Amino acid sequence: MHRMQPRAIGHTLVSVLTAVGLLVGLAGCTSRGEPTPAVSAAEPQLFQQAAVSVSGKVVPQRRAELGFGTSGTVAEVLVGEGMSVMAGQALARLDAPELTAAIAQAEAALQAAHAQLALLEAGASDHDIAVAEAAVAIAREAASTAQANVDVARTQVSAAEATLQASRAQLALLQAGARPEEIEVARQRVEQARSQLYALQAQRDAIGGAKGSPGYNSSTYEAAEGQVFAAEDAVEIAELQLAALSQGAREQEIVAAEAQVAQSLAALAGARAQVSVAEQQVLAAQAQVLQAEAQRDRVAAASRDEELAVARASVAQAEAAIQAAHANAQRAEIRAPFGGTVASISLHVGEQATPGAAVISLGDLETLQIETTDLDEFDVDRVAVGSRVSIELDALPGATFGGVVERVSLKAGSGTGGTTFTAYIGLDDVDARLRWGMTAFVDIETE
């Protein structure tokens, strides 16, 4: 079913009424040829339409496009399209552990503020004073320990400096090579080791030659032979040392010595850094001592009015922080502002939500109404609250619905045909076939 546009209908009806008026004027002419009275411009109401015809949309009186107030990953979608929900019911939630943690933190801060206020209001007990004194003693002990750590760190610096000096000396020796007197000493040690070997060999042979004679002991011979083997090893070692001194330091030994020097330098730098850290710890420990002593003095003294005021302000501040944390957490979920039906959902678990983007359409489908879309500024004054309305829909051919104008907008908006106003029309009966968004054609009775 196709309808003529409302403004075209109005113009056609005006033309028809104008033609009828002219014919009536001609018929009223007298036989004497008296002129036909002209139609007065002051009487336009004779040519106005009997109704204002406009288009509109079927919409719920209560409807909302809902979205999250913050960004995050969608954790839950708790409803589906067509589902009825109650006011305040949760529809979707984001995964926002940081907001939950903020609530817990704010609640803990409130408990601490309440506890501090209670302590100030109750005043200090002997136990509190003893605890404060113990805290001072602990802080002082920590300061002494920190100072001792500084002394240890400085000792380690001295040791690292000595190690570095020795490493550099060893490197210098390797780079310079062996002196003649050192080579001579090594040669003498070779001769000495050989002489010792010859003596032990002779002793062993003497014991072996007595084999079979009375008093011969095989274990004594074996011990003497072991001493010979050890003397042979000593000769070999002495010869190797002599060869090493004669050849000078190998490249690998110099590289190793250089690496030892570098390692000693790094150890020294680390030891000096540890001294700096230990000194900073001393300063921190001394500050803790001062803080503990101040706390002890505050505990021992009576609570002042200023301190009580500060503690009460801290409680109020913590309560405000909890409210803010809960408000932030509520932005991570969508709740129904009223009871209604979920009309559409553009949301899936795992998606990234954009703050303010509408993702759920909610409407009260029990209270559908018509909102006009092209009531122009020329016809709006002819539409009165309480006027009867006849409604037809393309989607429901042959069906006509009645209604009443309940309200007309005070401010104009921009429509497809220029400046428009909105008339809100209540239906006499809400037909089950009506759906949100259907196009309606409305005839509004006028006087």
Ordered structural domains, the chain, with CATH: 6-61+364-445 (2.40.30.170), 66-94+332-360 (2.40.50.100)
Nearest to 368, CA basis, from 337, 397, 399, 401: 401
CB neighbours of residue 7 within 10 Å: 15
Range with the poorest average pLDDT among 50-64, 108-122, 241-255, 371-385: 241-255
> Residue 348: how many CB atoms within 10 A of its CB?
9
In sequence order, what DSSP letters do the residues of 149-173 get, joined into one string? HHHHHHHHHHHHHHHHHHHHHHHHH
- Residue with the bigger pLDDT between 245 and 373: it is 373
Q: Is the confidence at residue 267, as pLDDT, over 80? A: yes
Q: What integer pLDDT is reported at residue 172 of this predicted model?
A: 76
| Terminal CA-CA length for the chain | 28
The per-residue pLDDT for range 388-414, each reduced to its tens digit, is 999 999 999 999 999 999 999 999 987
Q: What is the pLDDT of residues 67-117, one digit of tens each?
A: 998 888 999 999 999 999 999 999 999 987 888 788 888 888 888 888 877
Rounded CA-CA distance 331/424 in Å is: 32
pLDDT at 138: 93
Specify the pLDDT at position 223: 83
Residue 158 has pLDDT above 70, yes or no: yes
Mean pLDDT of the chain: 81
Query: CA 148, CA 154: separation in Å to the nearest integer?
Result: 10
pLDDT at residue 45 is higher than 90: no
Beta strands 84-85 and 340-345: pairing type?
Answer: antiparallel
pLDDT band at residue 178 under the 50/70/90 scheme: low
List Cβ neighbours of 287 (8 Å cut-off, separation of 6 or more): none
